[in-house]
Amino acid sequence: MTEEQPVEEKAAQDKGEFTNVSVDTLQATMEKFLDTANVKAVFAKPIQQGDTTIITCSEVMAVLGFGVGECCGGDATNGGHGSGGGGRTFARPVAAIIASPAGVTIQPIMDPTKLWIAALTTLGFMFAMMGRMRRGRRH
C-alpha cells in the first residue's frame, strides 16, 4: 500500500503544516481499515435472478501499521519529521448463499490451489523428515 504523496500534502509540508495533514491522512486510512471489520465487507450485495437470490461471502483480512516521528524541535529550520506506513488486505471467497422460495442452501467455494499447496508441503516435509531419520540410522 505505497502511495505517492499528494500535491496538497506536499504543499502543506512546505508551509509547515505537515503534521495536521498527516494526522488527517492517518485517520482516514484508519477509518477505511476499520471498515473491513464491518459485516458488509464479508457479504456481497445480493444478486437477484428471478425468484433466486445469491449472496457471496468472503473471508477478509487486513493488516496495517504506521508511525510518525520528529526530531530536534520539529520545525523547518532546525528539525525534521516524517511518517510512514504500510498495509495489506487479503480476501478469499468462502461460500455462496442461495436463497429461493424452496429454501436456503449454502454452497462452499473451494480453493484447490491452496489445498494442493498444503498437501505438497506436508508430503515434502514428511519425506524430508523420513530421509533425515534414515540417514541418522545409517551413521
Partner 1 sequence: MPDFSTLFVTQEGEPLQVGDQTITVISRALRVLPHWGFGGVVWNRPVAVKIQTASGVEHILPVVDETRRRQLIILAFGLAGAILISLFFRPPAITAGHVKK
Q: Give residues in contact with partner 1 (CB under 8 A).
A: 27, 30, 33-34, 36-43, 46, 51, 53, 55, 57-67, 85, 87, 92, 94-95, 97, 99-101, 104, 106, 108-111, 114-115, 118-119, 122, 125-126, 129-130, 133-134, 136-137, 139
Q: Residue 9 Cβ, how far from partner 1 at the closest point, in Å?
A: 19
Residue 35 to residues 14, 41, 56, 87, 110, Cα–Cα distance (Å): 32, 7, 18, 14, 26
Query: Is 12 or 64 the residue whose CB approaches partner 1 more closely?
Result: 64
Length of the chain counted residue by residue: 139
Closest to 97 in 3D by CA, of 133, 23, 45:
45
Q: Residue 82 Cβ, how far from partner 1 at the closest point, in Å?
A: 14
Query: Is 12 or 57 the residue whose CB approaches partner 1 more closely?
Result: 57
Closest to 94 in 3D by CA, of 60, 64, 119:
60
Closest to 62 in 3D by CA, of 25, 32, 26, 27:
32
Q: Residue 70 Cβ, how far from partner 1 at the closest point, in Å?
A: 15
Burial 74-92 (b: 16+ CB within 10 A, else e): eeeeeeebebebeeeeeee
Q: Residue 8 Cβ, how far from partner 1 at the closest point, in Å?
A: 23
Q: Residue 123 Cβ, how far from partner 1 at the closest point, in Å?
A: 8
52 with 104: CB under 8 angstroms? no
Query: Is 15 or 114 the residue whose CB approaches partner 1 more closely?
Result: 114
Query: Is 24 or 59 the residue whose CB approaches partner 1 more closely?
Result: 59
